[in-house]
Amino acid sequence: MSVLQRLQPYPGLRVLISGGAAGIGEVLAAAYLEAGAQVHVCDVSEPALAAFRDKYPGTVATRADVSDAVQIEAVFKVQREHFGGLDVLVNNAGIAGPTGGIDAISDAEWQATININLTAQYRFAHHAVPMLKASSHGHLLHIASVAGRLGYAWRTPYAATKWAIVGLMKSLASELGESDIRVNALLPGIVEGPRMDGVIRARAEQVGVPEAEMRQEYLNKISLKRMVTAEDVAAMALFLCSPAARNVTGQAISVDGNVEYL
């Protein structure tokens, strides 16, 4: 197999993506579909799922609130029934969490961010690993954030979960290597799209500056002076599902244009 051929994802992969009906998750799903994968997405938003089903007919799309352990278990029942197994889990679902000082954040806001961003990733991995052990191309991909390698003032709950995801990934890579399961994390930077627009808007309101000024402030944090796209993240995800990445595991890979600070 040539080097160029090795860059093509393994054919026919069975892929499950949490939070996969919109945003980065949808772009990831579209990329895997284009590569010939069998894709199952779950999402909490029924309108997003309906739009996904219309856009990608024949795919499996399941409603699930990832903060609910019972609903996560149900997702894996659907996975077994429709696909008979799993080759790639993309642990993508997450929320931005609150914007504010640590003394202003409520316990409920803290717990909600932990439950959705971190505990759900553990629960998905817990159910996925037996299936991945039966796969010849098992890969567990955690979507974290550049906030998992930098401090992030006013977004402490979010940053805490993203640092924890990197720790989860590193530990699972060591634990699952002997089963030939690779485990990695992608750390997207400042990603263009509605979610980032909301983050910028909230921060601008908090400090009392125009939204355009706050947007430029975010761009100034990036060495390349541009935001990344969801397609940039998806391209790296596909690489990690190719023979070229067969020895890539335990890695926290930034896709961020080199964010220097947050």
Task: Give the active site residues.
Answer: 158, 162
Read off the tokens for 95: 């929320």
User: Cβ distance 5 to 211 under 8 Å?
Assistant: no
Burial letters 101-121, b for 16+ CB under 10 A, else e: eeeebeeeebebbbbbbbbbb
Q: Determine the longest span between alpha carbons in the chain, in angstroms.
A: 57
Could you give the count of Cα atoms lying within 13 Å of 145 in the half-sphere of its Cβ?
27
Give residue 178's identity as a one-letter amino acid code.
E
CA end-to-end distance (rounded Å), the chain? 42
Question: Residue 210: exposed, middle, or buried by beta-carbon count in 10 A (0-12, 13-18, 19+)?
Answer: exposed
Read off the tokens for 97: 């969490």
DSSP 108-123: HHHHHHHIIIIIHHHH
Give residue 213's identity as a one-letter amino acid code.
E
DSSP 35-68: TT-EEEEEES-HHHHHHHHHHSTT-EEEE--TT-
